[in-house]
């Protein structure tokens, strides 16, 4: 891997030095970074050949240390005997990150890190890895050496951290619910991406467009932290409950986000950034039509279980009368044996989240099994098993607060 090093010194004055510097820059274009060093005659120790090197960790190249070598044995000894705090070390050697549009750069502090005196060099290890695409500047001030000459010139060395590829590659891989007709009181979308994404300002780039092409105002519950999964490949968008139409009363505020009979498009804009900071390869759109609201809690008694034959590894299929929440249906339904042992396997959802498919890791043994369904399972409108999403509190409807499970039995023959 070729890296570029830009070398600047403030004390190169003579033509000979300029030629040396030019030669060095030229060399730097052809040699790996860790061989690319700056040579300078230190004013503090006139016989020293001071070298500033940027040395990447061979295992993790973004971990780059700065080494100042060519110091006299006396200088090394005095440094080793010094008992300096961080600010004192930073007066001798400091490393700055370049910030393009920053306020007065001179007011910005140097990077944090650890200083070590080695047998023939001073080494600075930044606390954090270098960021791709940024420039870093090491400033060596030999006049700050113990006993150093006060007229010794400052030496600066600049390093350009390799840029990441700027080619957009990430796409939206799927949006759940998969159906193209969704209830008026739809609660959530799950947006899946092909690669990890970045946080920040996502709601500026995700829109719900109505049939006329205009954006629905503030349709989503905007959570500052944003509702990503741990891998940052799945984003949860919750339709703001304050924007879901209730009963026969339209909201007097800005109206419901979705209305029965109308068409909408969920638009995931290209400007959304992936983990490498690149935009999406293309915009994603999901068009759908809105159906009347669903206020019926899902009832597992209406599910159809299709048990496979015993002695094989055919998948178990469960058919729901309506689509279920994609994430919850994968997580809160499990299979146990009659004695309560969990059956390990993988879950898939098909047919627009109406078909739950369980592929066991081992062959089915003949006997009775149970499906354990947490009542936190939701349909597309957020209705839980046994309780609708909306409860009119003033009419005394009780809600169960405890998490419970529903069991369905089936037999493998």
Partner 1 sequence: MKRFALSIALAVFAFGVFIQGADAAKWTSEMKEGKPEFKSMGPLAFGPDGILFVADTKAAAITAIATGDTKADASAKPLKVEAINQKIAALLGTDADQILIEDLAINPISRNAYLAVSRGRGPDAVPVLVRVKADGQPEVVSLDKVKFSRAGLPDPPADAMVGQGNRQSNPRRESITDIGFLDGRLFIAGLANEEFASTLRSIPFPFKTVANGTNVEIYHGAHGRFETRAPVRTFTTFKIGKEDHLLAAYTCTPLVQFPVSELKPGAKIKGKTIAELGNRNRPLDMIVYQKDGKTYLLMANSSRGVMKITTEQIDKAESITAPVADKKGLPYETIASWTGVDQLDRFDANHVVVLRRTEGGSLNLESLPLP
Residues numbered 124 to 143 that lie near partner 1 (CB under 8 A) are 126-131, 134, 136
Q: How many residues bind partner 1 (CB under 8 A)?
A: 81
Subset of 246-265 contacting partner 1 (CB under 8 A):
246-247, 249, 251-254
Helix, strand or coil, per DSSP, at residue 203: helix
**Minimum Å distance from CB 236 to partner 1?**
4
**String marking each residue 3-32 x if it binds partner 1 according to CB under 8 A:** ------------------------------
Dihedral sign for Cα atoms in the order 393, 396, 402, 408: negative
315 binds partner 1 (CB under 8 A): no
Strand bridging mode 64-69 / 49-56: antiparallel
17, burial (CB in 10 Å: exposed 0-12, middle 13-18, buried 19+): middle
Please report, to the nearest 10 degrees, the dihedral formed by the alpha carbons of residues 267, 204, 239, 169 taken in order.
Answer: 50
Q: Which residues of 396-406 are buried (b: 16+ CB within 10 A; e: fewer)?
A: eeeeeeeeebb
Comparison of 218 and 305: residue with beta carbon closer to partner 1: 218
Among the residue ranges 26-34, 46-54, 105-113, 293-301, the one whose residues contact partner 1 (CB under 8 A): 105-113
327 binds partner 1 (CB under 8 A): yes
**String marking each residue 210-249 x if it binds partner 1 according to CB under 8 A:** -------xx--xxxxx-xxxxxx-x-x-x-xxx---xx-x
CB 208 within 8 A of CB 269: no
Among the residue ranges 39-47, 207-215, 306-314, 324-332, the one whose residues contact partner 1 (CB under 8 A): 324-332
Six-digit token pair at 34?
């860790």
Among 32, 200, 311, 367, binds partner 1 (CB under 8 A): 200
**Minimum Å distance from CB 74 to partner 1?**
32
* Integer-rounded Cα radius of gyration of the chain: 32
Using CA atoms, how far apart are residues 124 and 65, in angstroms rounded to an integer? 6
Helix, strand or coil, per DSSP, at residue 130: coil
Comparison of 287 and 348: residue with beta carbon closer to partner 1: 348
CB 265 within 8 A of CB 284: no
**Minimum Å distance from CB 205 to partner 1?**
14
**Cα–chain center distance at 14:** 50
Nearest to 99 by CA among 89, 87, 110: 110
Using CA atoms, how far apart are residues 151 and 10, in angstroms rounded to an integer? 13
**Minimum Å distance from CB 284 to partner 1?**
19
**String marking each residue 46-85 x if it binds partner 1 according to CB under 8 A:** ----------------------------------------
**Minimum Å distance from CB 392 to partner 1?**
6
CB 237 within 8 A of CB 216: no
Subset of 368-397 contacting partner 1 (CB under 8 A):
374, 376, 378, 382, 384, 389-394
153 binds partner 1 (CB under 8 A): no
**String marking each residue 333-352 x if it binds partner 1 according to CB under 8 A:** -x-----------xx-----
């Amino acid at each position: 891997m070729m890296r570029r090093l830009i070398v600047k010194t403030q004390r190169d004055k003579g033509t000979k030095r300029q030629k040396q510097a030019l030669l060095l820059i030229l060399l730097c274009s052809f040699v790996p970074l860790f061989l690319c060093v700056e040579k300078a005659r230190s004013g503090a120790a006139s016989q020293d050949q001071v070298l500033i090197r940027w040395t990447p960790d061979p295992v993790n190249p973004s971990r780059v240390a700065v080494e100042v070598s060519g110091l006299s044995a006396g200088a090394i000894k005095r440094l080793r005997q010094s008992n300096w705090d961080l600010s004192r070390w930073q007066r001798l050697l400091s490393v700055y990150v370049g910030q393009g549009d920053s306020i007065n750069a001179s007011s910005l502090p140097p990077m944090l890190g650890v200083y070590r005196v080695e047998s023939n060099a001073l080494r600075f290890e930044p606390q954090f890895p270098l960021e791709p695409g940024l420039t870093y500047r090491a400033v060596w001030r030999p006049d700050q050496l113990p006993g150093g000459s006060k007229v010794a010139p400052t030496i600066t060395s600049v390093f350009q951290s390799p840029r990441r590829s700027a080619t957009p590659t990430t796409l939206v891989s799927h949006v759940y619910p998969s159906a193209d007709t969704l209830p008026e009181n739809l609660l959530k979308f799950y947006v899946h991406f092909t690669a990890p994404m970045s946080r920040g300002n996502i709601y500026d780039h995700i829109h719900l467009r109505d049939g006329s092409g205009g954006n629905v105002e503030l349709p989503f519950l905007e959570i500052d932290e944003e509702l990503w999964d741990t891998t940052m490949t799945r984003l949860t968008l919750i339709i703001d409950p304050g924007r879901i139409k209730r009963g026969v009363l339209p909201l007097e505020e800005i109206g419901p986000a979705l209305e029965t009979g109308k068409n909408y498009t969920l638009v995931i804009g290209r400007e959304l950034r992936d983990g490498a900071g690149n935009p999406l390869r293309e915009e994603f759109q999901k068009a759908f039509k809105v159906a009347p609201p669903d206020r019926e809690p899902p009832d597992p008694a209406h599910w159809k279980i299709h048990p496979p034959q015993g002695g094989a590894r055919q998948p178990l299929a469960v058919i729901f009368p309506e689509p279920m929440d994609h994430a919850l249906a994968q997580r809160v339904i499990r299979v146990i044996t009659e004695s309560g042992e969990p059956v390990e396997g993988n879950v898939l959802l098909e047919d627009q989240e109406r078909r739950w498919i369980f592929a066991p890791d081992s062959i089915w043994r003949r006997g009775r099994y149970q499906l354990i369904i947490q009542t936190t399972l939701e349909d597309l409108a957020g209705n839980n098993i046994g309780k609708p999403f909306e409860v009119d509190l003033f009419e005394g409807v009780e809600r169960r607060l405890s998490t419970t499970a529903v069991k369905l039995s089936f037999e493998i023959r």
